[in-house]
Structure 1
């Protein structure tokens, strides 16, 4: 069968909005709403192209329209939602061009960060990297896509943060925020989850050895495999 022209993350059954804030509610209402919206987009509860009914969502989350509007502006800046005059906000469609641009930028910035970080890993850094890798594997085995996406982000930033380049890392975080829905599509395939597990193991070994050249090369291949798989799905 041909690939679905509008691939969507799987939608969990009977998902309620109050379940989307995670286990630990963020410290501000706006952060709570932003986290809930991100999770809804990632899980497919808010599917690509779907209108965002602000009154309904605000009621379900128990918040006013003000923090919801601010959260939507943040998501619009990231490219996760779009504003349509006279129709309001809707979830952005998955776009191959968008994906390729984001991953090209990630390759440039993350290669620099990883190369610097590799010479600075302390024992505590390596422990965080290994722990996050185990959490990714456990979530993958359980079929928990949101848990896998969350743990995968911790894994990658545990690798990058020792570089000590805060401005670079802020840009990388923004790029990651814009592509969680793509990761949900990628992780929905069992073969991709197994590939991620194997690639993470090799990345951990390179980080433990402090081998900057191999670490950068493995991270490049890791991104390239994701792009290749998503290219076939989205295109």
Structure 2
């Protein structure tokens, strides 16, 4: 039996879910008092969870203003997806050589979970199952440090993923592409798996280019809009 989450883990999971579900929108202030009250927790675990999200780039903190959900930035998106291409290609090439019956069953199980969530129009679960699907493909590489970096990159683009999955056409394309990826994983064709994963990522980037638009900030600046009026107080 898995251990129950700590209060901080619970709050972090709920904030992630709210960002994915578009309950917290980009550039939207996060009112700590109301969020803590809604979750039934004190502000201490909430502040700790927000610090984690800030380190991941999902929220922005501005002195005397407080936290906001990070505004979407095309520059940030392109950088993260380029890093994912480099690291995930390496992981996939190594993982495919280690696929056995257990590893392939996990991939197919998560693929079915994505389909089930799509049929229920449960976008939050579809996005979560999609993440599990991709990590089922990559984790057999047996490189935990590499996987930690890749997870961080995924965390920083959750808000973008939510935007992408809001389109029915994109959701349908994800399912079709996953089918091809599963077949290639069964064949243990490393070069083709890398190619399909690259095309899969590129379709997301191409779609999000139109949604996110041109980044208005100069290169090197972190994105984020005006924050709320709330200030950060220490525990």
Report the TM-score range of the alignment, normalised by the length of the smaller protein: 0.7 to 0.9
The 5 A counterparts of 1:64-213 are: 64-213=42-191
Please tell me whether the aligned partners of residues 117 and 159 of structure 1 are also in contact (alpha carbons under 8 angstroms): yes
Deviations 1:93-140 (A, max 9, x none): 111111111101100000000000000001011001011111111211
Once the 2 structures are TM-superposed, how far is the Cα of residue 25 of structure 1 from its aligned partner? 9.4
Deviations 1:163-216 (A, max 9, x none): 000000000011111111111111111111111111101100111011000000
* Structure 2 stretches lacking a partner, 5+ long: 214-235
The 5 A counterparts of 1:9-48 are: 27-48=5-26
> TM-score if structure 1 supplies the norm length?
0.88
1:57 pairs with 2:35 = yes
Deviations 1:129-171 (A, max 9, x none): 0111111112112221101001001100000000000000000
1:105 counterpart SS class: helix
What is the alpha-carbon distance in structure 2 between the residues aligned to residue 54 and residue 191 of structure 1?
36
Structure 1 equivalent of residue 218 of structure 2: none
Deviations 1:55-90 (A, max 9, x none): 111111111111111100100011100001111111
The change in CA–CA distance for 1:115 and 1:95 in structure 2 (over 3 A counts) is: same
* Structure 1 stretches lacking a partner, 5+ long: 1-23
The change in CA–CA distance for 1:25 and 1:40 in structure 2 (over 3 A counts) is: farther
> TM-score if structure 2 supplies the norm length?
0.88
What is the alpha-carbon distance in structure 2 between the residues aligned to residue 220 and residue 44 of structure 1?
27
Structure 2 equivalent of residue 6 of structure 1: none
Once the 2 structures are TM-superposed, how far is the Cα of residue 220 of structure 1 from its aligned partner? 0.3
What is the alpha-carbon distance in structure 1 between the residues aligned to residue 174 and residue 198 of structure 2?
13
Please tell me whether the aligned partners of residues 25 and 32 of structure 1 are also in contact (alpha carbons under 8 angstroms): no
Moved more, 209-218 or 134-143: 134-143
What is the alpha-carbon distance in structure 2 between the residues aligned to residue 207 and residue 162 of structure 1?
12
What is the alpha-carbon distance in structure 2 between the residues aligned to residue 96 and residue 140 of structure 1?
27
Misfit runs of 4+, over 3 Å: none
Please tell me whether the aligned partners of residues 109 and 172 of structure 1 are also in contact (alpha carbons under 8 angstroms): yes
What is the alpha-carbon distance in structure 1 between the residues aligned to residue 138 and residue 193 of structure 2?
11
